[in-house]
Chains A and B, each alone.
Chain A
Amino acid sequence: MIRKMKTAAELMLDVLHQSGVSHVFGIPGGNSIPIYDALTHHPLQLILTRHEQGATHMADGFARTSGKPSVVCVTSGPGATNTLTGILTAMMDSIPMLIITGQSITPNIGLDAFQEADVMGMSFPVVKHSYRVSDPQDISRIIREALHIATTGRPGPVLVDIPKDVSAAMVNVDIECEQDLPGYQAAPEINIGELELAANLINAAHRPVILSGHGVILSDASKALMEVVEKMRIPVTTTLLGKGGFPDTHELCLGLPGMHGTAYANKALCESDLIVSIGARWDDRITGIPEKFCTNARKIHFDIDPVEIGKIIPVDCAVIGDARMALEELIAYLKPGELKSWNNRIRSWKRSFPLKYRKEGKLRAQHIIEELSKLAGPEAVVCTDVGQHQMWAAQFVKTDKGKNWISSGGAGTMGFGLPSAIGAQLARPDATIYAIVGDGSFQMTFCELATATINKLPIKIILMNNRYLGMVRQWQHLFYDNRFTGVDLVGNPDFIKLASAYNIKGFRVKRSSDVRKTLKAAIDWNDGPCLIEAVVEQHDNVFPMVPAGATLEEMIIEPPKRPRVVS
């Protein structure tokens, strides 16, 4: 009998391809050469990045916009450690991702060999699971298990560390590969008793609010959520990652809650008698001091991950399981109540406390973002970096669909914006992808401009240049008596020249009156990526704001006359 043999690396790529993976992001190195060698004539498309962190955020953006897992492949040592920030980002935001790291040959592991790093040991706290492949015959089983773990239940990153001698070894392609995961439960069965209790609490509530999180998007629960909302007329506030899970343009949508949330979302939470959290985890940017968070409201928590139940906020009812399945079951138990006066109340808050900024005078980031959102429409895919521009984008971009708003929430990773937009464009070649970035964040990963150019990706990069690390400057201004330390980005490059060095078209806008014209020109640009540098007001601050350690009731809606000083 002739056995069909391949290298473990080739077999691994075959398994990935059969499982629906289309792209691999990364940079090769000594210990991952056998894997890159196998990529030479493989249908999997390699996207060569300029830094391993960029590779992780591209894979992340790809997964967030497509719902499909994607793969990062890097070498050992520094190649592997460079992925840790991206792995943390994916872990915090529940993103399915497979990270394949090369490793020193088996006999050299633990001997401080060249480019050896204990990446398993370093990554334990930030992965959903991880594997070291010691027997090449295990490769097929391990890759299947890794993809299964990454994509099911609460998704997350899975790391597979492969020594060079293992990836280069010849293996029989027909090996049986039964999955062996006795300790892994993808999604718990929904408890009908808890579901009925949830329905009773919702039916009895007079001032309910739904807190809709990333879980709604991950489980494709938007339609079910809409049915519940339409039936019951319950207003919805969407978390930073949940944005788009319920349309921003819906009359019952309250937008973002919490630290930089809308005044009406926070007021609704404060006055509510019931908060129904669906696929959200009571993040500290929303709840502040847990003991003082909306103490008059009862709480229901829908979550697929039992760890989240009671972690931050004690709840009156917990439904553990897939959000879409839970909502589809729930609807039968719901009886519409009389919420007219509650809805009227919310409408009047929306009228009295709208999001606002000054359109006259110096150019404001909010102005660009609002105009961009109008021109691009609610179907646009927007990726952001982290900082003030991210919060303004969360406030002013109207998103009507899940998977169209891509932002690093839990980890708050600066440098996420551009590479995630590259991943998004590869996942959705027909969509227009906007990357809204800050001058601080952008400079952390702008080497990936090369990746955008060589792949001819028509991303529109909107760079908010205030020559500051604006969010830290805002805190120093408000709470540290204007002691600005380490926030002035003096020495910023000429971003238009920088773009042009990468053969990227640049636009610059400095005046409010030019915003529309410049954005239109950029949107019409159809020859690869382009960069719009918006030179914006340097000292603008994001409001509303709930100071750290304060309650939602203490929200500052408008800029204070005199800054507060931390005692």
Chain B
Amino acid sequence: MKKAIKHTISLLVSNKPGVLTRVALVFARRGFNIDSLVVSKAQTPAFSRMNIEATGDERTLSLMMAQLNRLVDVIRAVDHAGEDVVQRELALFKIKCTPRTRTEILQMADTFRGQTVDMGDDTVTLQITGKSTKIEAFHTMMKPFEIMELVRTGKVLMSRGRESTA
């Protein structure tokens, strides 16, 4: 069994219809599941940025990176596995609560520098921002309570200093 590693890939692509399909097909053809995917406009409107997280063995992934870079609509694709990059994710947690548990939940959110974005009779909605590991840690803390919904944006990242991201 080949060793599976988590890869974080950033791409600078043309902002055109169909580009996402072309990129996704490179992963699908080798049976790679995309763990998370973020697409948004880049600083110039002609381009978009993509951040993709996928798990798989090194050799297949390096072939896939070459295949991504071969796509005409991909300006650049870079794998940041093992690199120290600035990485952020945002998550919204909707937790069921009683007047008794609400304080406890809010205290925990405070520890994680979370924000309360909504509150109802028996729910509280929290926003947690940070590295994906932090969101996972908060997720663990919330498990004893009833998590009604959890929405995560997926990872965005940027290279440090003058290094270009993709």
What is A's interface to B at a CB cutoff of 8 Å? 120-121, 124-125, 128-130, 132, 149, 181-184, 305-307, 309-311
Contact = CB atoms under 8 A, between A and B. Distances in A.
B3 interface: no
Given A128-B72, A182-B14, 16 more contacts: A121-B18, A124-B18, A124-B25, A130-B18, A182-B75, A183-B13, A183-B71, A305-B70, A306-B66, A306-B69, A306-B70, A307-B63, A307-B66, A307-B67, A309-B66, A310-B62
Contacts of B21: 121, 124
A101 to B, nearest CB: 15
Nearest to B67: A307
B79 interface: no
A132 B18 CA distance: 10
B72 A183 contact: yes
B135 interface: no
B73 interface: yes
Contacts of A182: 14, 75
B14 A311 contact: no
Given A121-B21, A132-B17, A184 B72 contact: yes
Nearest first, the 7 closest Cβ-Cβ pairs linking A and B are A129-B72, A307-B66, A183-B75, A184-B72, A183-B74, A306-B66, A182-B75
Interface of B: 13-14, 17-18, 21-22, 25, 29, 59, 62-63, 66-67, 69-76
A465 to B, nearest CB: 39
22 contacts: A120-B18, A121-B18, A121-B21, A124-B18, A124-B21, A124-B25, A125-B29, A128-B72, A129-B72, A129-B73, A132-B18, A182-B14, A183-B13, A183-B14, A183-B71, A183-B72, A183-B74, A183-B75, A305-B70, A307-B63, A307-B66, A309-B66
Contacts of A181: 72
B131 to A, nearest CB: 30
A307 B71 CA distance: 11
B22 A124 contact: yes
A149 B22 contact: no
Contacts of A149: 72
Contacts of B72: 128-129, 149, 181, 183-184
A183 B73 contact: yes
A122 B74 CA distance: 20
Contacts of B17: 132
Nearest to B62: A310
A130 B16 CA distance: 12
A306 B71 CA distance: 12
Contacts of A306: 66, 69-70
Given A120-B18, A125-B29, A310 B63 contact: yes
Contacts of A307: 63, 66-67, 70
Contacts of B22: 124
A310 B62 CA distance: 9
Contacts of B29: 125
Contacts of A128: 72
